[in-house]
Amino acid sequence: MAIKWANNATTTIASGITSGDTTITVAGATGALFPAAGGADYFYATLNNSNNDIEIVKVTARSGDVMTVVRGQDGTTAAAWVGGDKFELRPTAAGLAAAAEGENIVDLAVAQGGTGADNALDARINLDAAQDPDSNGFIVRNGDHTSVSRTITAGDGITVTNGDGQAGNVEIDNTGVLALTAGTGISITGTNANKTITNDGVTSFNGSTGAITFTSDPPQLVVFASNGTWTKDTGLKAVMTEVVGAGGGGSTRGVVGKVTYGGAGGGGGGYSRKMILESALGSTETVTVGTGGTASKTGTTNTDGGAGGTSSFGSHNSATGGGGGFKYDGSAPATTSSIGGSGGAGSSGDVNVQGTAGADVAGSVSSAGGVPGLAFGAGGFGARTASSAVVNNSNGYLYGGGGGGGYISGTNNAGSGADGLVLVWEFY
């Protein structure tokens, strides 16, 4: 509530009143000289007559020329008054005391330096709250004449110390806003201040030298000497595959007219090596191991050796087999001698090597087969005579070797090519 004032507001009462009346009507059209009153607003007026008698009234409402009053204020006594007695707004002790207590405070916004209150009571409440942070924390105005205590709270990855400010300064720490997540082959250790990222098994491969480095346990080896299926296990990081194609078979002796030549050797199988990360592997991979080329038979008909089969690890890398040796029969390509089979070739690997070709023969001695790309075994060699006895010609040795050529006499067979091989080195 607020006490109201007006300058030089004076008039007379329109008609007499008793000591018990609570409304006073002033002379016509003079009510507007006085402040508006009503609700929490009021003003003090003084009744006075020719005998200088005085009564102070509190005007709590004014409607035009009609005043609603509380009688006998500020130490005076309600009395009867006659028309024409004075009705004036004068300084009074009660009015001045109310003003001194702040009942005339206006509603001044906090942003303009005020309290946000329009009366003394609310102003004191707001001021008390603002001046008492130790018990209330941070004070925020949340509406007209109202305020509320707030604190600072932490979100994900943030910690707040002394969030209400009562015990000291507020401290805000980043305890993990940026989270580090380790992928396959990576580990993360350390405190919030210092993180250590460690390579626990990511592959390192030098394409120029073929050098492979792992920081995990020694790899495990899976050997495929025949067709099969490789299955990926939990925890695998990568594999290195080594693929060897099969060797080609040797050809029989060649006879054209009265000229006889020993048979040519089959070519060695190709070789391919490849590092494959776990993410590029299927849950299973088909493994194909090439079969060695067939050895031709001696007889009245000259025959070529069979080609070696291709070996592969899924669709990742492969190696073709060596070609079979060509018989000598006076026609292309063996027009002047028995021709050795071509070497196979590696494909799609990080390292690819071609097998050597089988040996040609221009004389009576049979020839050697080709060596595979990884040199797992040399090719078979043709038979030799020993004390007029004839021995069988050699098959390809170990994995991927070409078969030896047939000898010029007897019924000896040429050598068969050796089967291929697939090695899978598993890194965990």
Per-domain boundaries in the chain:
2-100, 202-428
pLDDT of residue 392: 42
Collect all residues with Cβ–Cβ distance below 8 Å to 107 and sequence separation of at least 6: 114, 116, 117, 118, 144
What SS3 string covers 10-78? EEEECCCECCCCCEEEECCCCHHHCCCCECCEEEEEEEECCCCCEEEEEEEEEECCEEEEEEEECCCCC
pLDDT of residue 121: 63
Per-residue confidence of the chain (428 residues) as pLDDT tens digits?
A: 588 999 999 999 999 999 999 999 999 999 999 999 998 899 999 999 999 999 999 999 999 999 999 999 999 999 999 999 999 999 999 988 887 775 555 555 655 556 666 666 666 666 555 545 445 566 777 676 566 777 888 877 788 888 777 777 888 887 766 667 776 667 788 766 677 777 665 555 565 665 656 555 678 999 999 999 999 999 899 999 999 999 999 888 777 777 777 788 889 999 999 999 999 999 999 999 999 999 876 554 578 889 999 999 999 999 999 999 888 777 767 676 778 889 999 999 999 999 888 887 766 566 666 676 665 544 444 433 333 333 345 788 779 988 888 776 655 678 889 999 999 999 98
- Do the strands 351-353 and 171-174 form a parallel or antiparallel pair, or are they unpaired? unpaired
pLDDT of residue 380: 45
**Whose CA is closest to 126, among 116, 134, 135?**
116
| Per-residue pLDDT tens digits for 163-184 | 777 777 888 887 766 667 776 6
| Per-residue pLDDT tens digits for 375-385 | 554 444 443 33
**Whose CA is closest to 280, among 243, 315, 318?**
315
Decide: helix, strand or coil at residue 399: coil
Rounded to two decimals, the pTM is 0.50
